[in-house]
Amino acid sequence: MIYLAIKDNVERKCVNKIIKELGLENDTYDSNKKEDIHKLKKSKIVICDFNTKKIQEYLLLKKIVVVYQKNKIKDKDNILFEKNVYTYNSNNDLREILNYQIRKEKIKQATILGIFILVIILLLVIFNIIMTSNYITKKDKIDESINIQKKEIIAAKNTVNYKRENIVLLGDSITDFYETDRYFKDLPVINSGTSGFQTKDILNLLKERVYIYNPTKVFLLIGTNDIAFTDLTNEELVANIEEIVIRIKKNRPNTKIYVESIYPVNGNTEDNDIVVGYMVGKRENDRIKKVNNLIAEICKKQKVTYIDMYSLLIDEEGNLDLDYTVDGLHISDKGYEIITDKLMSYIDPSTIENIEKK
């Protein structure tokens, strides 16, 4: 608002004309009609005659003071050089001063509006970040909860009801010497291994060694004695293993069958007091690996599970690790621990995570 305090009637008319030209008449109060201190306080610009005392009063009220100066400025009129004091002595001067103040006010208002908008935008951004963060945190918690529920469901599905289980380990001396009571403790694992057994022995004794237990799972490990003591070719040996699988499937169709690879041997008698040459005998890892490849193929054909135990038990040179054997053929306690972990991943899937951590 403009507060007009010009006393000279002629000049006041000129000022009013310029104010009207600039479209400011609705924002102007002419104090010649009646002085109003409230109007003065609300005003930003005061247009007045030169009067040192009045100018000082207006400045104290923090007004922009536009002074009508008829005569040349004298030294004693140094108040006219104060900040926020402008002088004019022609209509054009007044127009320029008022236009400048109008532009400055618009810029100020635009700046304030811009700052306000910027603050609003910043607040919205902050709010969005907080909400997004809360959403992510909430989503993470939900995802975590869902994952926990999934794990619980999977665990529940994978939990073995051992009251309904009969797990048979079938094979030769490597199975026979397996202290299942020690390694499987209270689990219903039946050791049906017999020292010296070959594939033909199992084929002849499936009823006594398998069927009578009505097994839910059978783990078959056989073939090493066929390599050492028979003239069977690799294909004939594996054909016997396949026949064992076929008969178990036929007589016990609900039984899950797992066929282990033949274990590696270590026939190196040098620099150790573990390997017993005659125990290893004719067994060689090159042939064992070929037989294992054929066993893997018939497992795929018969849709039963093949367990590669061979790779778990070899050392850097590809022989049965001396830590895992007592004579180059049979297994040590440490070797049976490795084997047990592997078998447990099939007996109880919930143990897989713990086994992998090892």
Specify the range with the lowest mean pLDDT, choosing from 56-60, 76-80, 159-163.
159-163
Q: How far apart are CA 321 and CA 116, in angstroms?
A: 77
Q: Band of the pLDDT at 112, cuts 50, 70, 90?
A: confident
Q: How far apart are CA 194 and CA 176, in angstroms?
A: 5
CATH number for the region 162-357 comes to: 3.40.50.1110
The pLDDT value given to residue 195: 92
Flag whether pLDDT at 160 surpasses 70: no
CA-nearest of 51, 8, 63 to 30 is: 8
- Same fold? 2-105, 162-357: yes
Flag whether pLDDT at 356 surpasses 60: no
CATH topology of domain 2-105: Rossmann fold (3.40.50)
The pLDDT value given to residue 111: 77
Flag whether pLDDT at 263 surpasses 90: yes
Q: How far apart are CA 67 and CA 47, in angstroms?
A: 6
Flag whether pLDDT at 42 surpasses 90: no
Mean pLDDT confidence for 75-84: 73
Q: How far apart are CA 56 and CA 52, in angstroms?
A: 6
Tens of pLDDT, residue by residue over 67-78, are 987 776 665 567
The pLDDT value given to residue 186: 85
Q: Residue 266's beta-bridge partner residues? A: none
Looking only at the bridges linking them, the beta strands covering 45-49 and 2-5 are: parallel
Flag whether pLDDT at 163 surpasses 80: no
The pLDDT value given to residue 296: 98
The pLDDT value given to residue 289: 97
Flag whether pLDDT at 134 surpasses 90: no
**Which residues lie below 8 Å from residue 28, measured CB to CB, with a gap of 6+?**
1, 2, 3, 4, 16, 19
The pLDDT value given to residue 35: 79
Specify the range with the lowest mean pLDDT, choosing from 149-158, 244-253, 288-297.
149-158
| Residue ranges covered by each domain of the chain | 2-105, 162-357
Whether 59 and 82 have beta carbons less than 8 Å apart is answered as yes
Flag whether pLDDT at 79 surpasses 50: yes
Flag whether pLDDT at 311 surpasses 50: yes
The pLDDT value given to residue 357: 43
Tens of pLDDT, residue by residue over 208-232, are 999 999 999 999 999 999 999 999 9
The pLDDT value given to residue 136: 63
Burial per residue of 150-184, b for 16 or more beta-carbon CB atoms within 10 angstroms, e otherwise: eeeeeeeeeebeeeeeebbbbbbbbbbebebeebb
Mean pLDDT confidence for 84-109: 81
